[in-house]
Amino acid sequence: MSLPDRKQDEVRRMLEGAHPPVPADLGPHAAERGARLLRRRMLARRLMWVLLASAVVAFVVWAAVEQPWVAPPSEIAPPLEGW
């Protein structure tokens, strides 16, 4: 008997047996847990958007204050002309 056939036979034996009892409140508990997971994901997504927006605002403020596109002032004095 090959490996897939053995697995299929084992699954068939498991399904033919008696099914375990299911708690009566399984559905409401599953729905509650799903709703809680959705709320957590939504909160995490909103938090990430807030962090991204604050990073963009911080970068814009830094760029406006520092003006990195402007050349830094020269450390050497310009040559004296006309002496």
Confidence of residue 21 (pLDDT cuts 50, 70, 90): confident
Confidence of residue 2 (pLDDT cuts 50, 70, 90): low
Query: Is the four-CA dihedral 69, 73, 75, 79 of positive or negative sign?
Result: positive
Q: What is the pLDDT of residues 28-70, one digit of tens each?
A: 999 999 999 999 999 999 999 999 999 999 999 999 999 888 8
pTM exceeds 0.75 for this model:
no
- Examine the pLDDT at 3 and tell me if it is beyond 70: no
Apex 29 CA angle, 21 and 47, nearest 5: 145
- 3-state secondary structure (DSSP) of residue 68: coil
Residue 46: predicted pLDDT: 98
